[in-house]
Amino acid sequence: MLRVGVIGARGYTGAELVRLLCKHPDVELTYLTSESQQGISISAIYPSLRGHIDLACEAFDVETACAKADLFFYALPAGEAMKSAGALLAAGKRAIDLGADFRLKDPERYRQWYKGEPAPAELVSAAVYGLPELYRGQLREARLVANPGCYPTSAILGFAPLLAKGWIDPASIIIDAKSGVSGAGGRSTMKPEYSFPHINDNFRAYGLVTHQHTPEIEQEFARLSGVNAPVQFTPHLVPMTRGILMTGYASLAREADTPGLLAEYEAFYADAPFVQVLPEGTLPETKYVVASNQCHIGVRVDPRTRRVIVVCAIDNLMRGAAGQAVQNMNVMCGFPERHGLDLPALYP
């Protein structure tokens, strides 16, 4: 059994990791940290975990961590994992960061978008971007993984087949994405504008031209297409707890129709257990992916405008965070990729 730890177990993403890992057949959850809830059982913080795990949270300490676990999940804000990940790797441990510390390869882009100093170059270069459908081979040898952001996961999975095969003009992409409130801030940093009275019966855009997931999307689109092009990305907040619906638009670079592109998607994701390409006449909905690690994708060609429309639905806390992190662990450790994640969505 692999001993695993969650650094930052108190937040929404940390709790989702605990929920998945405590039932994973190949791991033992042996270490949880929370700076604000030291000595308190995770099941007291989240009563939904009562009867499943009663491990107490403690303050993070590198020496203690190394003695208690072999692989660590960082469920912390940007700028935190870089402080100790190097020490864990030096001790022979492995780590998956669900923050943004190792996602961007260009340090200047990190400074620009995250307003802070980037992680040491040797850690950034060693980190594998944790999107298994694109980097499964590299993940098998990885010791440090940069788990993708939730919006980038939906956008990259949605557009990857089109960019990789040159079906669209990369400079024409527009991404319009909507997220549930749990993706807009951590449990301890939730601002008043995310409270129920403000969110209920409301729908708004936020982070126009400034959202920190923009450079991550652009970086991965450039890897896929070989073209560096800016992406127009606008996120929205909708009055639901969890889920992301990404609708993307791009101009066709050559003639295509809906059946042909659907066949391209099915071939591209033939070996991807958590990506479902929906048939013509069916479009993704967040309700059908909630609490699952699934990604549902729908594609349509508009012959009138010569544009392709891509719709992608994921759960921001699962495929957009904790579920994808566990999937990455499975690939890293040689476990069956579905282990701990092979559950249908929660409906209704």
- CA-based max dimension of the chain: 62
Say if residue 348 is preceded by a cis peptide, omega within 30 of 0.
yes
| Per-residue pLDDT reduced to its tens digit, 31-44 | 999 999 999 999 99
pTM equals 0.96
The domains found in the chain, sorted by start residue, are 2-148+319-333 (3.40.50.720), 151-316 (3.30.360.10)
State the pLDDT at residue 200: 87
In contact, 258 and 195? CB cutoff 8 Å: no
pLDDT at residue 186, rounded to an integer:
57
What average pLDDT does the segment 204-231 reach? 97
Q: Residue range 215-225: average pLDDT?
A: 98
- Cα→Cα distances 63→35, 40, 59, 93, 260, Å: 16, 21, 12, 12, 55
Confidence of residue 191 (pLDDT cuts 50, 70, 90): low
pLDDT of residue 199: 84
What per-residue string of b and e applies to 186-195 under the rule 16 or more CB within 10 Å gives b? Answer: beeeeeeeee
pLDDT tens digit sequence for 96-151: 999 999 999 999 999 999 999 999 999 999 999 999 999 999 999 999 999 999 99
Q: Is the pLDDT of residue 185 over 80?
A: no
The residues pairing with 41 across neighbouring beta strands, listed in sequence order, are 56
d(CA 261, CA 300) in angstroms, rounded, equals 8
Tell me the CA end-to-end span of the chain in Å, nearest whole number.
Answer: 35
* DSSP-H helix ranges across the chain: 12-21, 42-45, 62-68, 85-90, 107-114, 121-126, 132-139, 150-164, 196-199, 214-225, 258-268, 323-333
159 CB-near residues (< 8 Å, 6+ apart): 168, 173, 221, 224, 248, 250, 310
Burial of 208 (0-12, 13-18, 19+ CB in 10 A): exposed
Q: Which residues pair with 275 in a beta bridge?
A: 295
Q: Retrieve residue 77's tokens.
A: 């804000």
Average pLDDT, the chain: 96
Residue 189 reports pLDDT greater than 60: no
Does 280 have pLDDT greater than 70? yes
Q: For residue 348, what are its two tokens?
A: 């209704």
- Residue 177, pLDDT > 70, answer yes
Six token digits for residue 252: 């066709």
Name which residue leads in pLDDT, 109 or 190.
109
Q: Among residues of the chain, what percentage have pLDDT more than 90?
A: 93
Does 187 score more than 80 pLDDT? no
Q: In what order do the strands lie in the sheet with 275-277?
A: 204-205, 232-237, 174-179, 244-251, 307-314, 295-302, 275-277
Active site members: 150
pLDDT at 55: 97
CA 301 – CA 251 distance, rounded (Å) = 10
